[in-house]
């Protein structure tokens, strides 16, 4: 993540906390981040030098006035004026990380070969919460390449208990065995 995104996200997060709008900002930033990822041309338009900065800010005003909190709109205008609007998705990610840290939330992605039942998800969440002491925000993904078992990605770590990983480890051991 860029230093620019971190600095701007910290500023926005401080404002959100001061205004007691952290959750509102988090939700609106996530919606905007998703919208921008689905419409990358809009982000290109906002960073285009074919329009003046004032025209680009007016595009934001026309698109989002009365749809997002005024501080978020002003934040996007500031990024546009400073020619950092392409950093907006990273700013959203950094804001989310600050929110999660402040609220003791740990996002965890579980990857398995088949869908986990709700009971399995609940047990996994409780177990991870007991281990980490944090509120776990579990998201699940299916990847047939796992073959079986479970892989957990969280906090920059990977715990890989998949059959594919076990087979890979066995294969590596056999390759390194001198006969």
Say which residues have a Cβ less than 8 Å from residue 78's Cβ, sequence separation at least 6.
8
The model's pLDDT over 71-130, given as tens digits with 9 standing for 90+, comes to 999 999 999 999 999 999 999 999 999 999 999 999 999 999 999 999 999 999 999 999
- Same domain membership, residue 70 and residue 128: no
Pick the last residue of a domain from 68, 101, 134. Answer: 101
Q: Which domain holds residue 79?
A: 3-101
Total number of domains in the chain: 2
How far is the C-alpha of 7 from the C-alpha of 159, rounded, in Å?
31
Which of 109, 101, 104, 89 lies closest to 1 in space, CA to CA?
Answer: 89
Encode pLDDT of 141-173 as tens digits.
999 999 999 999 999 999 999 988 888 888 888
CATH of the domain at 89: 1.10.520.20
pLDDT at residue 174, as a whole number: 84
Mean pLDDT for the chain?
Answer: 95
pLDDT of residue 168: 87
R_g of the chain, CA atoms, integer Å: 21
The structure's pTM equals: 0.84
């Amino acid at each position: 993540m860029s230093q620019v995104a971190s600095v701007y996200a910290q500023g926005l997060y401080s404002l959100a906390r001061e205004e007691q709008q952290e959750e509102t900002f988090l939700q609106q930033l996530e919606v905007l981040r998703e919208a921008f990822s689905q419409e990358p041309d809009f982000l290109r338009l906002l960073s285009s030098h074919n329009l003046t900065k004032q025209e680009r800010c007016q595009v934001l005003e026309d698109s989002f006035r009365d749809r997002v909190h005024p501080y978020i709109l002003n934040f996007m205008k500031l990024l546009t004026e400073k020619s950092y609007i392409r950093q907006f998705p990273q700013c959203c990610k950094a804001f989310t990380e600050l929110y999660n840290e402040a609220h003791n939330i740990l996002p965890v992605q579980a990857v398995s070969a088949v869908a986990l039942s709700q009971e399995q998800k609940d047990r996994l969440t409780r177990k991870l919460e007991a281990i980490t002491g944090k509120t776990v925000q579990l998201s699940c993904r299916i990847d047939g390449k796992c073959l079986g078992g479970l892989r957990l990605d969280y906090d920059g770590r990977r715990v890989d208990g998949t059959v594919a990983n076990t087979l890979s480890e066995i294969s590596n051991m056999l390759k390194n065995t001198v006969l």
